[in-house]
């Protein structure tokens, strides 16, 4: 609807020392991670080595009714996933967790991230007779693990052998008959943390907010490159692949993660407020009120207001009852969709010079419509401040940044030109230098490739697409209607 960034995937797993309704805990956790993926979701449970799973397209409460959760039954461990597709499209076979039966047992896998060499991995298996049902890179990861498991003493040993061949971002949870295994790529592109409930259950989650949702306490983050195995004997760590220079996606702090999460030691809310404070120092302007574009622009706006001394106010009310499937039958309705999603509070805006804070500008079309809402509400001036640098390059690690020909920062030579296009009196972005200071408590370094074009790992010259992907996506949608 908004020509903006899309959320990323979220993963969650729980391991109990007793049989219980683990699916209920995963359901609540996925609810807390819904912001990371609103396209599809799934849960797989382990009942003494027997895997049951349910998944589908839609939001968590749409896919999982009370009846469906009860039908999953009881078990001692479960993993779940919420998805927004990057590699793989909307093929129903791509919905996670992937559940696989192989000669040495059952395996379920949930993955957040994106591999840059997924096509090469897939091709190597296909040339040896491998059969793939979907188009996601997650299936390539599963194939690689199973292949190595045939010649390994354990699944964690197979994962240890697999990781050097995986290039890119992956924070994964694997469930076997007796263990839950979490592992994170050596760069640490995507977050992953460990928690524990009061009754002794161990949890693994993309964000700490999901731990809060089920009453679990945060224990620690999974280190970049670390393999964490959870079984009846407790938690075991393999740090064979640790030690590389880290490169956590800095946009986790700017946009993706929930404000109440703590990622790799740094509060997301505090990082966003710090972004606003840096903006106030770098790009001051005289105004009467500072407002934020919901939701990720709000904390940055508060930070700007605190630093500048200009009053903070609520400029927009967000309609939270509009789903991603909101129908826009005509072009005019699509163009006016922003009015359905956001409404300006005229009493706070009329006759005032407004500073509007948002997390990013992608194509600029939605931004221009939001600015127009402020003009219609009576703003005398609109000054936009963006709590990230301009997008100028694609992301290969799971962030759905648009192609360069569609990025407004690549279409115009100057910030003043962009300001004119979106209709603001002035425009300024956060500097690259400030971006690296947002999460000063974090123990990791950051990836800023989408801003600078400098990537922490080598990127293939081309990222080929599966030629059957579009047909498979269309077919899967048709199939789902029939089913």
| Closest to 12 (Cα-Cα) out of 23, 2, 4 | 23
Contact 63, 56 (CB under 8 A): yes
- Interstrand relation of 227-231 and 217-221 (parallel, antiparallel or unpaired): unpaired
Beta bridge partners of 291: 356
Cβ neighbours of residue 289 closer than 8 Å, sequence gap 6 or more: 310, 311, 312, 313, 315, 348, 349, 352, 353, 354, 355
Secondary-structure breakdown of the chain: helix, strand, coil percentages, each rounded to the nearest 5: 35, 25, 40
Beta bridge partners of 465: none
Q: How far apart are alpha carbons 423 and 420 in whole angstroms?
A: 5
List phi, psi (to 5°) of 291: -130, 160
Task: List C-alpha distances in Å: 185 to 14, 210, 239, 419.
Answer: 21, 21, 11, 39
Q: How many CA atoms lie within 13 Å of 160's alpha carbon, on the beta-carbon side?
A: 17
Question: Which among 9, 41, 367, 395 is annotated as catalytic?
Answer: 9
What is the SS3 assignment for 209?
helix
Counting runs of H as helices and runs of E as strands, what totals does the chain give?
19, 23
Give the burial string for 454-463 (b: 16+ CB within 10 Å, else e): ebbbebeeee
Tokens of 60: 């968590």
With 0-12 CB in 10 A as exposed, 13-18 as middle and 19+ as buried, what is 243?
exposed
Tell me which H or E stretch contains 449.
helix 449-452
Say how far residue 250 (Cα) sits from the centre of its chain: 12
| Closest to 287 (Cα-Cα) out of 359, 348, 363 | 348
DSSP string, 13-50: EEEEEEEE-HHHHHHHHHHHTGGG--SEEEEEEEETTE
| Closest to 170 (Cα-Cα) out of 201, 196, 199, 138 | 138
Q: Is 9 a catalytic residue?
A: yes
Give the burial string for 431-450 (b: 16+ CB within 10 Å, else e): beebbeebbeebebbbbbbb
Tokens of 363: 């194509």
Residues annotated catalytic, as ranges: 9
């Amino acid at each position: 609807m908004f020509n903006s960034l899309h959320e990323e995937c979220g993963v969650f797993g729980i391991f109990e020392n007793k049989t219980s309704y683990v699916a209920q805990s995963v359901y609540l956790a996925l609810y807390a991670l819904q912001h990371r993926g609103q396209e599809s979701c799934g849960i797989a449970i382990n009942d003494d080595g027997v895997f049951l799973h349910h998944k589908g397209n839609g939001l968590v409460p749409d896919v999982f009714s009370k009846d469906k959760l009860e039908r999953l039954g009881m078990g001692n461990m479960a993993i779940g996933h919420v998805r927004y597709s990057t590699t793989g499209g909307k093929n129903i076979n791509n919905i996670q967790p992937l559940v696989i039966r192989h000669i040495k047992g059952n395996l379920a896998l949930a993955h957040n991230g994106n591999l840059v060499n997924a096509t090469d991995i897939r091709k190597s298996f296909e040339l040896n007779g491998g059969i793939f049902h979907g188009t996601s890179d997650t299936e390539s990861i599963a194939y690689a693990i199973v292949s190595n498991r045939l010649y390994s003493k354990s699944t964690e040993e197979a994962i240890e052998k697999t990781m050097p061949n995986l290039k890119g971002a992956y924070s994964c949870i694997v469930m076997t008959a007796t263990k839950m295994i979490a592992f994170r790529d050596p760069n640490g592109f995507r977050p992953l943390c460990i928690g524990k409930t009061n009754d002794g259950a161990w949890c693994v989650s993309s964000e700490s907010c999901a731990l809060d949702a089920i009453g679990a306490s945060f224990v620690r983050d999974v280190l970049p490159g670390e393999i964490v195995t959870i079984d009846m004997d407790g938690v075991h760590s393999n740090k064979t692949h640790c030690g590389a220079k880290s490169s956590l996606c800095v946009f986790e702090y700017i946009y993706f993660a929930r404000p109440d999460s703590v990622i790799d030691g740094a509060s997301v809310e505090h990082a966003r407020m710090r972004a606003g404070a840096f903006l106030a120092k770098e790009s001051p302007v005289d105004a009467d009120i500072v407002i934020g574009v919901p939701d990720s622009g709000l904390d940055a706006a508060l930070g700007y207001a605190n630093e500048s001394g200009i009053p903070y106010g609520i400029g927009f009310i967000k309609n939270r009852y509009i789903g991603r499937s909101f129908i826009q039958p005509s072009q005019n309705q699509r163009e006016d969709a922003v009015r359905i999603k956001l409404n300006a509070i005229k009493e706070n805006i009329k006759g005032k010079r407004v500073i509007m804070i948002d997390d990013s500008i992608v194509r600029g079309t939605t931004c221009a419509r939001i600015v127009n809402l402020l003009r219609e509400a009576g703003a005398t001036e609109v000054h936009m401040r963006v709590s990230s640098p301009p997008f100028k390059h694609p992301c290969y690690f799971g962030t759905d940044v648009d192609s360069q020909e569609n990025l407004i920062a690549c279409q115009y030579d100057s910030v003043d030109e962009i300001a004119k296009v979106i209709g603001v009196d002035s425009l300024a972005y956060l500097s690259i230098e400030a971006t690296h200071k947002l999460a000063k408590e974090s123990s990791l370094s950051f990836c800023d490739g989408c801003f600078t074009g400098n990537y922490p790992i080598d990127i293939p010259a081309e990222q080929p697409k599966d030629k059957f992907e579009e047909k498979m996506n269309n077919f899967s949608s048709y199939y789902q209607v029939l089913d």
